[in-house]
Amino acid sequence: MSETIFADGLVVKKNENAPDFVLCNLSIKTEDFGKFMKANSKNGWVNLSVLMGKSGKPYAKLDTYEPKEETVAQAAQHSDDLPF
């Protein structure tokens, strides 16, 4: 299991009184989050996962998943098989 890298400058808040369609609110400290994005950007993107902690509070962490080369090649091959 890889180390959890928390998103600096990003706070995830869940309001229990909000309607069901409101998943969460995000507060961004631009200076800290900007540094975090520059440090963790790959091809101009930073992927984050919003998870629920054991404490019951939501948080955001860096999503470090990278598909294996075979998986990407297989997906491209299957797209050629589509009838449309």
Distance in angstroms between the alpha carbons of the first and the last residue of the chain: 40
pLDDT band (50, 70, 90) for residue 5: very high
State the pLDDT at residue 1: 60
Residue 26 has pLDDT above 80, yes or no: yes
State the pLDDT at residue 28: 97
Q: CA–CA separation, 66 vs 79, rounded Å? A: 20
State the pLDDT at residue 80: 63
Burial of 8: CB neighbours in 10 Å, binned 0-12, 13-18, 19+:
middle
* Domain-wise residue ranges, the chain: 10-79
User: Which tens digits make up the pLDDT trace of 50-81?
Assistant: 999 999 999 999 999 988 887 666 666 666 66
Answer whether 48's CB lies under 8 Å from 40's CB: no
User: Which tens digits make up the pLDDT trace of 28-43?
Assistant: 999 999 999 999 999 9
